[in-house]
Structure formats: C-alpha cells, structure tokens
Amino acid sequence: FQYNFNQPAYEGPPPSYEESMAMAPPARPAAPSAPQPQPVNPEVAMWFAAVDENNDGSITVQELQEALVTDDWRHFTLSTCRLLVSMFDVDKSGFIELGEFEAIYNFVQRWRGIFMSYDADNSGLIDSKELASALQQIHSRQFSPHFLHVAQRRFQQNGSGEMNLDGFISLNALISRYSRDYETNGRGQAFEEFLIRSLNSSA
C-alpha cells in the first residue's frame, strides 16, 4: 500500500522549519483541562496501519520509506526519511507514531503544493532555473550560481540534473535548519560557504 500524495495541496505560505516542528503533536499528553487533539484523518490512519508491519503502533524509517513515494512512484530516499523522522519524532523514540505520521503527511502535502507551483511543465522535476526561482521566493534570498549547482548536484534525480519532490523537500528543510545553525555556529564564515559545508556533511 503506497500513497503518492496526489491530493489537493494545502494552501498557505511555505512552512518554515519552526512551523514544521509545530505540526508535530506534543511530547506529553495534554492536561485533562486542555483541548483534546483533533481526530486523525481516517485515510491517514488506514495508510499508517498498512505500513505498520508488526502492528505495534509505530513505524521505522524503512517503513516510512515504503509509504512515501513521489508522483512518478519513486520512493523517497532513506536520507529524506531520516530527516523527516528527526523533525517529527517528538518523543525521540526513533520511531514514528500515528500522530507524528499525520504531521509528516501534512508537511509533505504542503511542500508538494509548493513544488508543483514551480514545476512549470508538470514533469515531476524542476530544473536549475525553476529551483533558483523557488529558493529565492521561499527563503527570501538570492542564491549564487555556485550554490545552486552544488544543491542541484547533491539532490538531483538519478544524475538528471533536475530535482524531484523528495530532493526538494530535503534541500529546503536543510537550508532552514542550517540557517538557524549559522546564527550560532557560523561566525567567520560566509553564509553560503557554511551552507555548502553543512549540506556536504549531511550526504
């Protein structure tokens, strides 16, 4: 059972790293007087159950990879799935529970809508020109041709020089994460130099 996110895209501005973290459920149950969490989307719950092979209420990185495919039915890479687990595994168990899985679903849906808005020819891939436009709008920064080349090479689809949804999500999530890191750990380095070093170390 696989799902390719071929659903209406979520509206709204691109999610920042902070917003993506806020999508995940709280680490501890809410106090009795606090509002109860909204019920999980039944479709998402069914999808989760289908990939939860041992029915223990949580899924591994590998099971998450089985669930996540792009519009051309390619599985997300393990590195992207590990990144998503690191972002949404609120209790740091190393596994994804149903509420965390729904947060990942919502996150990917929103980024899918953003990706499609820059995929001018609806090919399921974006080229270097489309990527430059997307990154400038999303991060309010004009990136150099050198950085774009490094990013495209790092996240390209099968050596094509173009990037699919999987790579697009990873790149933007990592840019947001490393932009935060730069504020505290990037002293004495140019921003793009810091980004490139960080991206290469995450390979």
Return the domain boundaries, the chain.
17-201
Please choose, from the candidates 79, 60, 76, 58, the residue with its C-alpha nearest in 3D space to the C-alpha of residue 5.
76
28-65 in b/e form (b: 16+ CB < 10 A) is eeeeeeeeeeeebeeebeebbeebbeeeeebbbbebbb
Superfamily of segment(s) 17-201: EF-hand (1.10.238.10)
Give me the chain's average pLDDT, please: 83
- pLDDT tens digits along 129-166: 999 999 999 999 999 999 999 999 999 877 778 999 99
- pLDDT tens digits along 42-91: 999 999 999 999 999 999 999 999 999 877 778 899 999 999 999 999 99
